[in-house]
Structure 1
Amino acid sequence: MSSEGLQGYLDRMHEAASDVSKFIEGMEKDAFLKDVIMQRAIGMSLLMVGEVATRIIEVYPEFVEEHSELQWRQIRGMRNRIAHGYFDIDLGLVWDTAKKAIPDLLDKLYLIRHWQAEGE
């Protein structure tokens, strides 16, 4: 990931989270559990969300502290589980994250990104 400003990181995080939402739209859990391509697409997108969160944690700790409504450590933790779990990834947890946590993350990112854009 190239060096970029905070707004760029937030945009990338939003894009990857939006991809997750698009991928699972209309999908049921049983179909997800049978579709290895979808599992990998969603897993990679969640990994990307977590990688950006990790960068923001490292480069902009004051921003992370100001926006504790985002669960930064949990996002990074999911990234680590996916990146290092390989064949032991809990697909039920991936599904729950995609269905429950990602919509909440998108709502919060929308508000933060627009707040950031107004401040520039």
Structure 2
Amino acid sequence: MSVERLVDYVDRMQQAAEQARALTDGMTESAFLADLKTQLAVTMSLVLLGEAAARIGMSNPDFLRDHPELPWSKISEMRNLIVNDDHRADLSAMWGTVRYDLANLISQLQSIRHWRIQGE
């Protein structure tokens, strides 16, 4: 995979994570659990996040090994759960991921992107 393509997938991951967070800004968990439209939009953002991560893993598995600080398996597991067994997706767990885990992931993705662009 070219560096440009890799950066594109990292950017897609970051954008999807930022979208999921933006969709829930100002919401409480109970408001999220009562809002089907937001649930569906957040779910789609998480699927897009997982898809971009999966493409990186398929095309450049060394990149995943080079960046073990990212929760690659958790990202894939959430995507797979949503896509393959959506009726079992735990909305409270999804809320926790979006509101508490994605901020750190976004920061890590920004660091990786800058590292790749600078060629360090």
Same fold (TM over 0.5): yes
- Letter of the aligned partner of 2:8 in structure 1? G
Q: Say if 2:13 is the partner of 1:13.
A: yes
1:26-105 to structure 2, matched below 5 A, reads 26-105=26-105
- Letter of the aligned partner of 1:98 in structure 2? V
CA-atom RMSD, angstroms? 1.2
Separation in structure 2 between the aligned mates of residue 50 and residue 101 of structure 1, nearest angstrom? 14
Give the deviation of 1:109 after TM superposition: 0.4
Separation in structure 1 between the aligned mates of residue 88 and residue 70 of structure 2, nearest angstrom? 26
- Tell me which stretches of 4 or more aligned residues in structure 1 moved more than 2 Å: none
Give the deviation of 1:35 after TM superposition: 0.1
Separation in structure 2 between the aligned mates of residue 49 and residue 32 of structure 1, nearest angstrom? 20
Which 5+ residue runs of structure 1 have no aligned equivalent? none
Q: TM-score, normalised by structure 2?
A: 0.93
Separation in structure 1 between the aligned mates of residue 102 and residue 46 of structure 2, nearest angstrom? 9
* Secondary structure of 2:27 counterpart: coil
- Letter of the aligned partner of 2:108 in structure 1? K
- Letter of the aligned partner of 2:77 in structure 1? G
Separation in structure 2 between the aligned mates of residue 31 and residue 110 of structure 1, nearest angstrom? 30
Which 5+ residue runs of structure 2 have no aligned equivalent? none
The superposition leaves residues 19-69 of structure 1 with CA deviations (integer Å, 9 ceiling, x where unpaired) of 011111111000000000000000110011011111111111111101000
Give the deviation of 1:88 after TM superposition: 2.2
Separation in structure 1 between the aligned mates of residue 16 and residue 53 of structure 2, nearest angstrom? 11
* Secondary structure of 2:85 counterpart: helix
